[in-house]
Structure 1
Amino acid sequence: MPNRTRTRLCPQRDRARTLLAARVRQGLGLRGTHAIDPGDTPTRVTVWDIRSLQDVYARVGGRLSLAQVTRTVSDGTTYSIVEATVTTRLPGLATVDITTDWDPATELDGYTLPVIADHTTTGARRG
C-alpha cells in the first residue's frame, strides 16, 4: 500500500520540479528545457561552455567559484578540468548554480570574459 501512495504523489512532485526547472531556465534567459548534463536539477543548470556562462552572468550576475576537479570518461580515463560555477538568487524562485567545465590552457579567451576577470582580479560580485 505505501508504494501506491508514493507512486500517486510522484507525478505531482515531478510536475512541480519540471515547473521550477522551466521557471529557473526562463529566469536565467536560457532557451529550451532540456538538461545538458544528467546531473542537472531544477536549481543546478549546466551550460555548454565558459562563453555561455558569461552570457548568463551578464544577464543575472552572481558569484563565481572555480574548483579544480577530476572527470572520468566512459572508458575509465580521467582528466583534470576547472569547474566554473556562478551562484545567483532568482527573486521569487530559488538560489541557482549555473556551471560549466573550463580548460584555461585551451580556452585562453576565458580570462578576458568579465565572469572570470571579475573573479580573478577583484573577487567581485556582480548583481
Structure 2
Amino acid sequence: MPALGGFLWLISYWLIGEVVIHFTALPISSGVIGMLLLCATLAVRGRVPSSIAAAAQPLIGLLAMLIMPGVVGVFFIAGELAGQWTAILIALVVGTLLSVLTTLWLLKRLIGQPSGH
C-alpha cells in the first residue's frame, strides 16, 4: 500500500501545478510545475519518502508511454512547423546536450556521497 500514498503525493503536486497555472496563466504544463515543486520539497526534506519511491518506480518503466502522446501530437501540427525545422533541430540538440551534461555533473557531484539509507 505504500505506492498508493506515493501516487497521492504525485497527484497532489500535479493538482497544485494546475492551481498555479490557473491563477498565473503561465505557459507551462501543470505537470512540470508540480514536479518542480515536488523536487523542491524533496530537496528541502533531503530524502525521498519510500511511498513516493514505490509509486515512481513503475512509472519509470512506462516513461516512453507517458511521452508518446506529445510526440504523436507533433504530427498534427507539422504544417505549422514547416518553416521552423532549423530552430527545432537546434533546440533539440542543445537541449539534449544540456540535459546530458547536467545529469553527468549531478552524478559526478553526488557519487561517493552516502545516500542516507
Instruction: From the two aligned structures, give the one with the greater helix fraction.
Output: 2
Q: Same fold judged by TM-score > 0.5? A: no
TM-score normalised according to structure 2 size: 0.28
TM-score normalised according to structure 1 size: 0.27
Instruction: From the two aligned structures, give the one with the greater strand fraction.
Output: 1
